[in-house]
């Protein structure tokens, strides 16, 4: 019985390691722009890739309400850099559509970096 439990643990651990590896996708170095639909407008971001990883993300153009988009910019952009993508980055409450627009724009930019 212990042997089966150990095998399951090994399979789960291997899957977790593979998932972490997939999240750390290597991107081509460069500066990329992307767009995503926010609540009021298209949101444009600039993603800088260095050493195969996201080094910086900036929102360069939007028509969103400044007070609404400020929180996603402040909290999500550092998280996207830390996680090397949008996987596992939560939307900001009260700014869901702006948050989703930022994530879509980052994904659009990263699609050009592959």
Query: Domain locations in the chain?
Result: 27-111
Q: What is the CATH topology of the domain spanning 27-111?
A: Sufe protein. Chain: A (3.90.1010)
* Whether pLDDT at 11 is above 50: no
**Cα angle for residues 79, 83, 87 (degrees, 5° grid):** 95
Q: pTM higher than 0.85 for the full model? A: no
Buried b (16+ CB within 10 A) or exposed e, 7-24: eeeeeeeeeeeeeeeeee
Residue 2 has a pLDDT of: 57
Residue 25: CB atoms within 10 A of its CB come to 15
Instruction: Give pLDDT tens digits for 56-83.
Output: 999 999 999 999 999 999 999 999 999 9
pLDDT (tens digit, 9 = 90+) per residue, 26-64?
A: 999 999 999 999 999 999 999 999 999 999 999 999 999
Tell me the two tokens of residue 60. Answer: 């360069």
Distance spanning both ends of the chain, measured CA to CA: 45
What does the pLDDT read at residue 34?
98
Torsion-angle region of 111 (φ positive above 0: left; ψ -120 to 50: alpha; else: beta): alpha
Q: Which residue in this structure is represented by tokens 């869901």?
A: 96
């Amino acid at each position: 019985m212990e042997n089966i439990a150990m095998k399951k643990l090994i399979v789960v651990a291997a899957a977790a390691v593979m998932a972490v590896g997939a999240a750390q996708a290597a991107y081509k170095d460069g500066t990329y722009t992307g767009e995503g639909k926010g609540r009021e407008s298209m949101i444009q971001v600039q993603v800088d890739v260095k050493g195969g990883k996201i080094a910086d993300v900036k929102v360069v153009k939007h028509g969103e309400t400044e007070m609404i988009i400020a929180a996603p910019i402040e909290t999500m952009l550092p998280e996207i850099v830390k996680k090397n993508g949008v996987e596992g980055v939560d939307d900001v409450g009260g700014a869901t559509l702006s948050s989703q627009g930022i994530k879509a724009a980052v994904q659009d930019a990263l699609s050009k970096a592959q």
